[in-house]
């Protein structure tokens, strides 16, 4: 029989000004919509958008100009709080920067004060590689920190290293399902006793139009920049920013350690339907 798993800590950055569980709950209860035009600091949509109705993207064009983006400026980072040098921080993917922040907040939210050196695992979901694409365009601008700063395989390891966590550490990349597959793997690891707790985290920031153009060219994105699940008017899905982390433990251990129990997971599963 599966042992119940408790969610004891939450950290997040989501569109609509959601910076913690309370603001996210308020956003949901009040049925708000965070859809907005692509911010000019990401990229200039005027150079890519196709204004003609019904025409698909492709060939350097986008049929949409809206999506879901963080309200905060993503180039801010308290580097002194972590162990990296200035030279390394300059090469660091904003996704890695924000992951470190939300993981800290998830541990703090769980009331954990002595996690360093413990057997806590890290399971990080990843999808886009916008920063890597941007950094890879200038082959003359290389750095010793280039690979660890831009490649997503390091997401889980970065968190483990900075927080001194000694459990399993990995990045899972299965496109849209990455974070839920990461949760499943963490759930199983806790059941087996591979780790005493697990950080399940994921990051996706839309920094360039490249992946959106590729997805638009095969007709999966909504020209409205809005997802309408289970609605007759659905015409594709909308892309958006998201950075989040949950800290999970076996329920009996969470109760023993005095952690707040914010939710209980009784089972997870993964499959493939063709």
63, part of any domain: no
96, part of any domain: yes
- Model pLDDT, residue 45: 87
At residue 30's C-alpha, the angle toward residues 25 and 36, to 5°, is 95
58, part of any domain: no
In whole angstroms, give the CA distance from residue 265 to residue 61: 42
Cβ–Cβ < 8 Å for 216, 63? yes
Cβ–Cβ < 8 Å for 198, 121? yes
113, part of any domain: yes
- Model pLDDT, residue 47: 83
198, part of any domain: yes
Tokens found for residue 45: 């949509």
Whole-model pTM: value is 0.90
Mean pLDDT by 10 residues, the chain (274 residues): 92 96 96 94 85 58 91 86 85 91 97 93 92 68 59 88 96 94 97 96 93 90 91 93 97 96 96 80
**CA-wise closest residue to 71 among 245, 222, 224, 242:** 242
SS3 158: helix
- Model pLDDT, residue 145: 55
In whole angstroms, give the CA distance from residue 35 to residue 23: 17
88, part of any domain: yes
Residue 93: give its domain's CATH number.
3.40.47.10
Structurally, the chain folds into a number of domains equal to 1
211, part of any domain: no
From residue 245, how far is each of 26, 124, 134, 220, 257 by CA, in Å?
19, 9, 25, 27, 20
153, part of any domain: yes
Count other Cβ atoms within 10 Å, centred on residue 72. 12
In whole angstroms, give the CA distance from residue 219 to residue 223: 9
Domain that holds residue 121: 7-34+69-206+241-246
């Amino acid at each position: 029989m599966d042992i119940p798993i408790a969610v004891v800590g939450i950290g997040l950055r989501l569109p609509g000004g959601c910076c913690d569980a309370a603001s996210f709950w308020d956003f949901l209860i009040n049925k708000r919509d965070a859809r907005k035009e692509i911010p000019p600091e990401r990229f200039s949509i005027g150079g890519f958008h196709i204004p003609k109705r019904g025409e698909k993207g492709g060939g350097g064009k986008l049929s949409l100009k809206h999506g879901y983006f963080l309200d905060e400026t993503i180039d801010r980072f308290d580097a002194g709080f972590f162990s990296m040098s200035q030279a390394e921080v300059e090469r660091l993917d904003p996704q890695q920067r924000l992951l470190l922040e939300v993981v800290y907040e998830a541990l703090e939210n769980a009331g954990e004060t002595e996690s360093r050196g413990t057997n806590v695992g890290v399971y990080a979901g990843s999808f886009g590689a916008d920063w890597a694409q941007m950094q890879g365009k200038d082959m003359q601008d290389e750095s010793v920190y280039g690979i660890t700063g831009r490649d997503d395989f390091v997401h889980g390891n970065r968190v483990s290293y900075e927080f001194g966590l000694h459990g399993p550490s990995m990045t899972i990349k299965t496109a849209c399902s990455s974070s839920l597959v990461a949760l499943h793997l963490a759930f199983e690891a806790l059941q087996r006793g591979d780790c005493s707790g697990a950080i399940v985290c994921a990051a996706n920031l839309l920094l360039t139009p490249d992946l959106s153009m590729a997805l638009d060219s095969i007709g999966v994105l909504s020209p409205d920049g809005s997802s309408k699940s289970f609605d007759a008017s659905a015409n594709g899905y909308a892309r958006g920013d998201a950075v989040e982390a949950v800290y999970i433990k076996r329920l009996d251990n969470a109760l023993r350690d005095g952690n707040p129990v914010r939710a209980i997971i009784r089972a997870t599963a993964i499959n493939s339907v063709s």
